[in-house]
Amino acid sequence: MSSNSTLNIIKIGGNVIDNDGHLQDFLEKFAAMPGKKILVHGGGKIATRIASEIGIEAKLVEGRRITDEAMLDVVTMVYAGLTNKKIVATLQKYNCDALGLSGADGNVIKAVKRPVKDIDYGFVGDILADSINTLSIKKFLQAGFTPIFSAITHNGNGQLLNTNADTIAASLAIALSKLYETTLIYCFEKNGVLADVNDEHSVIPSIQASEFEQLKSSGVIYEGMIPKLHNAFSAIEKGVKNVYIGNAANLHLYQQSQFGTCLS
């Protein structure tokens, strides 16, 4: 398939976002990737640090951020502002014509405020099916831009929402798989899905959906990796060609089929 009909969607997260040197190295590799591509990023610990500096307490429940009105202002400034524009400026240095976006720009990603159940997450957005404006994104790609999405969406009525970057990446991949042969790549500080969490070299090169339950029940895959893989296999069921999980520092190996763990 030609590069005009293929699309790579890369999500960068984990400790890479918080380390300027590692982020620069990753962005140079991302810029060098041929063909159409999209980058999705969160904001990591930077938002927590800046909130603390201005006297706003960061509240987390089971690792998930509670986004009250004050924290929404902070994450919008950090994710859609500081972090997004630093990434865009760095990519321009590497001759990648990046376009920094939130979900509100071009009305590309609408979400709904998460309903209050056991926990009130505040201004956290959940993306619904068919809420991705694929035609606007296609226009950006056809114009030669590389969209860089922060983890901020909107509800269509003027309200910004903090939305999980993994979910944004998966939702974009699923929606755009109707227009392109789409691959989703999750980049973080680990080399892939590990058979032994204490051995960075124990990467499982490929996992099929039929193997996932067995790896969970045997305890090989647990805790934070479980929802990531659930999202990955859901994306594949809904039209995404492949999902890769691997080390941001090794992104250049993706073109050589030597990158992390491939889910299919």
Check: CB of residue 171 under 8 Å from CB of residue 132. yes
> How far is 151 from 161, CA to CA, in rounded Å?
9
43 is in an annotated binding site: yes
Check: CB of residue 38 under 8 Å from CB of residue 8. yes
> How far is 222 from 249, CA to CA, in rounded Å?
24
Q: What is the largest CA-CA distance in the chain?
A: 52
162 is in an annotated binding site: yes
Q: Which residues contact 88 (CB under 8 A, 6 or more apart)?
A: 98, 99, 100, 148
Check: CB of residue 59 under 8 Å from CB of residue 124. no
Q: What type of residue is 38?
A: I
- Give φ, ψ of 174 to 5 degrees: -65, -50
44 is in an annotated binding site: yes
Binding residues: 43-44, 65, 162
User: Which residues fall in the annotated binding site for substrate?
Assistant: 43-44, 65, 162
